[in-house]
């Protein structure tokens, strides 16, 4: 099933690229069907996923030999972390493909690149081979490059180029680190399970430190963390709304997922030695992202900087979990919060960027000064915005609260001062979203937007699907948390006597 979830969108993308007569009315149903089938495969895996105390570290594993001399194979499998992120990603891709978009007369290519990006993104989260992980990591750059460059706005080509160059530089750092990690292992293998068990590198000597640095820099660019974030706002502003939703909801998670899956799990001692500096970098991202977002007058740029802020929360949780100080229970809580934040942020910010795209489609601008009084004109759009905004700054009863509460509760037990200062980011985030909502929806109705159309049916159901899950996770988080805490990432905590 996992292999099918990757292959179905890739084969459908290939079919669209080779089908010259496929117009929008043919390409869109094909893309929707392939994306839905891929998600259905993941749902089947989820139904059979064992969250019991004796559950295997990785489940639904399949392996086919590929390059035996190098120890490379097609290996796929899931633990709770990868399954949760994959399910979120599959749903977000389906919603982004379903979102009504201006395809500029190239619908076949537009939907083909979305399906390609869905296939390689799921491949990254589902693979258990380190070299295949790197291949998928690089291929995601290709799909997003074309979606931004060919279907973006005025400066789309420059934004796509900057995105590609920045993240490619990060991927090269990751490749060097992967090679260093594999060479350090006595047996030549790229099997993630074997490398997690072997722990090839330990301590904080020069070699271990440089390899860890390669991973952290590469994944920090992808996440992105300050000061590697400068490609993100431009890419978001110039990308079409559905591409922005996927960029924020899925591609940014590859950085934080990679941090957990590789250096956190495969270099535990070395990671612990540098956990505090990583927590400080996360704190800078939290504060910088929120404060800079507050100063933006562009709707999409403001949301983009909040992603820097929220990914800072995630990395703070990862750093606290990786430190070998504090109790096992609080470190487990921090890591659980970090993974929950990956899922919650994907749903919430994915919805926010789709909403931003709906504004641009109707008015042709993201400038906040052009909006006002829309509560009387677009009530459905207002409800969707405020629900996503409340979730983003962690209002209780919504998914953002479940994630951020765990992160800060866990981090307080490890780095109390860092966590306390990080709470400022929550206050600033709440202020910036409420101020933006007041500007857009309240006050006098600005000229030229009095006849603005409210959400259409084709826009309502993707937003409803994402935001319904935001509410469901906020009210009933237990099943998600049970799934997340099952598997390899949490195995060291259980072995040390933490929560089962």
Cβ atoms of 38 and 9 within 8 Å: the answer is: yes
Residues 257, 258, 262, 264, CA torsion sign? negative
Over range 111-119, report the average pLDDT.
96
Nearest to 36 by CA among 107, 98, 85: 98
Reading the block at residue 15, the tokens are 């079919």
Range in 35-39, 57-61, 486-490 with the lowest mean pLDDT = 486-490
Annotate 347-391 with DSSP letters as a single string.
Answer: HHHHHHHHHHHHHHHHHS--BGGG---GGGT-HHHHHHHHHHHHH
Nearest to 352 by CA among 402, 397, 309, 396: 309
Question: Are the beta carbons of 241 and 362 closer than 8 angstroms?
Answer: no
Other C-beta atoms closer than 10 Å to the C-beta of 338 total 32
Q: What pTM did the predictor assign?
A: 0.95
Mean pLDDT of 215-222: 95
Mean pLDDT, range 353-380, rounded to an integer? 89
Band of residue 492 on the pLDDT scale cut at 50, 70, 90: confident
**What does the pLDDT read at residue 405?**
95
Report DSSP letters for 83-133, one per residue. HHHHHHHHHHHHHHHHS----TT-HHHHHHHHHHHHHHHHHHHHB-BHHHH
As to burial, measured by CB atoms within 10 angstroms (0-12 exposed, 13-18 middle, 19+ buried), residue 451 is: exposed
Residue 315 has what pLDDT? 97
* The pLDDT value given to residue 318: 96
Pick from 137-146, 194-203, 354-363 the range whose average pLDDT is largest.
137-146
Structure tokens at 338: 């970090």
Cβ(138)–Cβ(277) under 8 Å?
Answer: no
| CB contact set of 128 (below 8 Å; sequence gap of 6+) | 58, 61, 63, 75, 76, 77, 191, 192, 193
For 4, 253, 449, the CA distances from 352, given in Å and listed in that order, are: 30, 16, 20
User: Residue 496's pLDDT band (boundaries 50, 70, 90)?
Assistant: low
* Per-residue pLDDT at 19: 87
Statement: residue 498 has pLDDT above 50: no
Q: How far apart are CA 241 and CA 359, in angstroms?
A: 9
Q: Report residue 495's pLDDT band, with 50, 70 and 90 as the boundaries.
A: low
pLDDT more than 90, % of the chain: 77
Residue 298 backbone phi and psi in degrees, to 5: -105, 125
Token readout for 265 is: 């799990």
How many angstroms separate the CA atoms of 327 and 455, rounded?
A: 48
pLDDT digits (tens, 9 = 90+) for 67-85: 888 889 999 999 999 999 9
Render pLDDT for 77-107 as a digit per residue (tens, 0 to 9). Answer: 999 999 999 999 999 999 999 999 888 888 9
Q: What is the pLDDT of residue 450?
A: 67
Specify the pLDDT at position 20: 83
pLDDT score at 190: 94
Asked if the model's pLDDT at residue 500 lies above 50, the reply is no
Q: What is the pLDDT of residue 67?
A: 87
Q: Is the pLDDT of residue 452 over 90?
A: no
């Amino acid at each position: 099933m996992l292999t099918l979830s990757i292959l179905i969108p890739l084969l459908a993308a290939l079919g669209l690229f080779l089908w010259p007569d496929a117009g929008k009315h043919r390409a869109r149903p094909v893309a929707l069907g392939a994306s839905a089938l891929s998600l259905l495969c993941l749902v089947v895996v989820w139904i059979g996923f064992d969250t019991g105390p004796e559950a295997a570290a990785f489940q639904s594993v399949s392996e086919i030999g590929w390059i035996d001399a190098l120890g490379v194979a097609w290996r796929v499998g899931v633990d709770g972390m990868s399954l949760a992120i994959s399910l979120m990603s599959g749903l977000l891709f389906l919603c982004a493909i379903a979102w009504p978009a201006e395809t500029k007369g190239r619908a076949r290519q537009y939907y083909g690149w979305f399906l390609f990006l869905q296939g390689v993104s799921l491949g990254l989260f589902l693979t258990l081979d380190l070299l295949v992980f790197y291949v998928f990591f690089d291929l995601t750059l290709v799909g997003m490059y074309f979606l931004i460059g060919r279907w973006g706005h005025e400066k789309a080509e420059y934004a796509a180029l900057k995105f590609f160059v920045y993240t490619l530089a990060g991927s090269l750092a990751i490749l060097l680190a992967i090679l260093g990690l594999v060479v350090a292992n006595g047996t030549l293998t790229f099997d993630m399970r074997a490398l997690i068990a072997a722990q090839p590198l330990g301590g904080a000597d020069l070699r271990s430190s440089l390899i860890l640095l390669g991973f952290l820099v590469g994944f920090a660019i992808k996440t992105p963390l300050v000061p590697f974030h400068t490609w993100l706002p431009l890419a978001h502003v110039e990308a079409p709304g559905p591409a922005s939703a996927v960029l924020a909801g899925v591609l940014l998670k590859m950085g934080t997922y990679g941090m957990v899956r590789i250096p956190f799990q495969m270099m535990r001692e070395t990671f612990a030695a540098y956990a505090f500096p990583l927590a400080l970098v996360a704190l800078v991202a939290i504060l910088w992202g929120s404060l800079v977002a507050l100063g933006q007058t562009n709707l999409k740029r403001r949301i983009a900087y909040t992603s820097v802020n929220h990914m800072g929360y995630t990395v703070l949780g990862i750093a606290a979990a990786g430190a070998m100080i504090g109790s096992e229970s609080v470190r487990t809580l921090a890591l659980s919060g970090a993974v929950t934040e990956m899922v919650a942020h994907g749903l919430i910010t994915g919805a926010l960027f789709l909403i931003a795209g709906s504004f641009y489609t109707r008015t042709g601008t993201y400038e906040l000064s052009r909006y006002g009084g829309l509560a009387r004109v677009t009530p459905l759009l207002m409800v969707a915005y405020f629900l996503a905004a409340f979730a983003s700054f962690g209002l209780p009863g919504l998914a953002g609260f479940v994630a951020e509460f765990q992160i800060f509760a866990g981090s307080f037990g490890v780095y109390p001062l860092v966590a306390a200062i990080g709470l400022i980011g929550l206050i600033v985030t709440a202020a910036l979203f409420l101020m933006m909502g007041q500007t857009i929806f309240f006050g006098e109705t600005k000229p030229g937007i009095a006849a603005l159309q409210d959400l259409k049916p084709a826009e309502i159901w993707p937003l409803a699907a994402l935001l319904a899950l935001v509410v469901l996770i906020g009210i009933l988080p237990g099943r998600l948390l049970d799934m997340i805490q099952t598997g390899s990432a949490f195995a060291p905590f259980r072995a040390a006597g933490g929560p089962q």
